[in-house]
Amino acid sequence: MSIVINTPNGNIGRSLVEKLLKAGRKVTVISRTPEKVADLVKLGAKVVQGSIDEQATLDAALAGAEALFWLTPPAPRPDFLDWAKGTGRLAAERVKAHGVKRVVLISSVGAQNGPGSGPVSSLKPIEEAFQAAAPNVVSLRAGFFMENLLRDAQTLAKAGAIYSPNPETKAFPMVATADIAAKAAEFLTDASWTGHRYVGVHGPQDLTYPQVASILTQVLGQPVKYVRVGLEDARNGMTGAGMPSWMADSFVEMYGAIQDGRMDAAEPRSKETTTPTTLAEFASTVLKPLVEQARAS
């Protein structure tokens, strides 16, 4: 019996597949382009070619599966919320049809509040769909990805600044995707847990953006300042950089939810929710090379 991974090419999914294979588990991955997962196949993964929103693809992958790892990919389409919810519900339906007993779902802080939080709005209905379909479901409600800072490499290199609508005093959990993959692997390789659970994945500490800027100043060896911008300025910046207006609107809605407290974590910080990789460690190994490359260009 295999563990099915629906997003083997993302930061979380790829790391997870490698961890599971190293642990000796059978893994099936879903990919529209098998060439992108050829290295994982060489390591022992089985690939099912197709799209995660196709029933035939899901049926081929889930037949005889013991568990499913599900992450909603950030599909760049105007109907993203409807697509994400519909795809999640289809996958949950096929999980039930095939008798899959365990699901590990990547969710987010703020998912508990449902609509009105941009791309996170789709996650509560997906959580509920899988809980109705399988007896054992863990929703990993992750904090803000440290990898999101990679989008700031150019402004860090050229202006020594990070920009966001977040209030200067608003602290939020920041987590490395490698740690999210490790947490998912824990649940996928442990058959002792039962029922429906929400588990926070919060990184080592909550940080404000001025604290983020201070850490980056030390790691990058250059002054970094935090510049708070208004929601409309953020929208204009995103569309000015070529982002479609519907996508910018979705992110602005999420930023508004952050300001209103609707993106706060429902799960309190604990030993279980705290993960090891610090922002300084992430910045020195992952972000700093990109900033240095941007400086040189």
Q: Which two tokens stand for residue 116?
A: 């009105």
Q: Which two tokens stand for residue 295?
A: 């400086």
- Long-range CB contacts (within 8 A, 24+) of 29-37: 29/4, 29/5, 30/4, 30/5, 30/6, 30/57, 30/58, 30/61, 36/9, 37/8, 37/9
Percent of the chain, pLDDT > 70?
A: 100
In single-letter form, the type of residue at position 163 comes to Y
Structural domains in the chain plus CATH codes? 3-144+175-201 (3.40.50.720)
Q: Which two tokens stand for residue 113?
A: 């509040």
Tell me the per-residue pLDDT of 14-33, one tens digit each, with 9 for 90 and over: 999 999 999 999 999 999 99
Let me know: does 103 contact 139? Beta carbons within 8 Å: no
Q: Which two tokens stand for residue 259?
A: 């300001």
Tell me the per-residue pLDDT of 181-231, one tens digit each, with 9 for 90 and over: 999 999 999 999 999 999 999 999 999 999 999 999 999 999 999 999 999
Average model confidence (pLDDT) across the chain: 96
pLDDT at 1 over 90: no
**240/236 Cα distance (integer angstroms):** 6
**Residue (of 152, 166, 145) closest to 288 by Cα position:** 152
Q: Which two tokens stand for residue 133?
A: 């379909």
pLDDT at 75 over 90: no
Confidence of residue 143 (pLDDT cuts 50, 70, 90): very high
Give the global pTM.
0.96
Tell me the per-residue pLDDT of 117-137, one tens digit each, with 9 for 90 and over: 999 999 999 999 999 999 999
